[in-house]
Amino acid sequence: MSSPNVERNTTSRAMSSSTDSRFDKPAHGWRRTLFTVIFEADTRAGLMFDLALIAVIVASVLVVILDSVQSIREQWRPVFNVLEWMFTILFTLEYIARLSCVNKPLRYATSFYGVIDLLALLPTFLVVFAPQMGLGYLIDVRILRLLRVFRIFKLSRYSVEYRALVSAVAASRRKITVFVGFVMLVVLVMGTLMYVVEGPQHGFTSIPVAVYWAISTMATVGFGDLVPKTDLGRAIASVMMLVGWGVLAVPTGIVTAEMARRGGDDEPAAFPVAQRGVLAMVEPAPAVPAKRLTPAARRRALAQHRRGAR
């Protein structure tokens, strides 16, 4: 079995090849060197770039979190402003570098990570230029400042395990979609039933309100703003609470089974699982026991060996 480092390097090379084909890696020159450093992590320079970028992302998100605390913001506001502009300039340079080192910059700009890169630097500029652009009446500055939390999504491109989880969820999307449809059907039926049983006099003024109660009860949240008053309504609520445990467990089981089928690092699973379901496991082929020689057969084989030796 190959070591985890070899597997990660293989996965990294595969993802680099995919990036090359999507954004068209330059053939030569400084743009090719910059592309290798920014988009590929199998070199020392690329690894150092990724580690430095992760440190900057984590630091910028930490500044956003601390800036949301009023007492800390009042004391450290000048420092936070300087740090925010430093982070914005670094992310702007990184965004320009990514666009300049690919042959298809528009494709990268419209990709998922390209949009995230833009959202990571755009709020700071909008906070400054929004009043001049007449956007102050349309956008609250505090909302723009909170958009900087999108920088944390930039961390996802550096995690192989993240991609394994995303691929497992994507492979299970049909099962999860069917399950969510079943849950919505149950919620609608039970909510309608509670509306008929309890009625407006107990707070269930409409079917949407009853469906809201069914969702909060099935999710085991139970805010307490709506509670059944009749015995039949309490019995229905008890059933909904018990069903809620299954609702929480089924999606986890679906994704976990898919990850086990794929293996820890996209390896074959250690145990066989059928393609059509989690419970339909493939029975392993029975082992054929080795034949044991009788003493007479052993003597005949020894005699034949001796005759052949002569």
- Mean pLDDT, rounded, for 245-264: 78
Q: What is the pLDDT of residue 143?
A: 46
Please tell me whether residues 101 and 183 are part of one structural domain.
no
Residues 133 and 26 in one domain: yes
Mean pLDDT of the chain: 75
Residue 4 included in any domain: no
Can you tell me the distance from the alpha carbon of 125 to that of 87, in angstroms, rounded to the nearest whole number?
12
pLDDT for 272: 45
Q: Report how far apart the first and last C-alpha atoms of the chain are (Å, whole number).
A: 46
Whether 192 and 251 map to the same domain: the answer is yes
Residue 221 in tokens: 């949240």
Instruction: Give pairs for 198-202: CB < 8 Å, separation 24+.
Output: 198/228, 198/229, 198/230, 198/233, 202/228, 202/229, 202/230, 202/233
- Residue 222, domain CATH: 1.10.287.70
> Is the domain of 121 the same as that of 197?
no
Type of residue found at 116:
I
Examine the domain organization and report whether 183 and 235 are in the same domain: yes
Task: Kindly report the pTM of this predicted structure.
Answer: 0.53
User: What range defines the domain where residue 193 resides?
Assistant: 170-262
pLDDT digits (tens, 9 = 90+) for 277-288: 444 444 555 555
**What is the pLDDT confidence band of residue 93, given thresholds at 50, 70 and 90?**
very high
**Maximum mean pLDDT: which of 69-73, 129-133, 137-141, 289-293:** 69-73
CATH of the domain at 54: 1.20.120.350
Cα distance between residue 172 and residue 278, in whole Å:
11
Q: Are residues 136 and 175 in the same domain?
A: no
- Give the model confidence (pLDDT) of 179-220 as tens digits: 888 888 889 999 899 998 998 888 898 889 999 999 888 887
- Per-residue pLDDT, 235: 92
Other Cβ atoms less than 10 A from the Cβ of 75: the count is 11
Do 56 and 84 reside in the same domain of the chain?
yes
The Cα–Cα gap between 4 and 279 comes to 30
Q: How many domains does the chain have?
A: 2
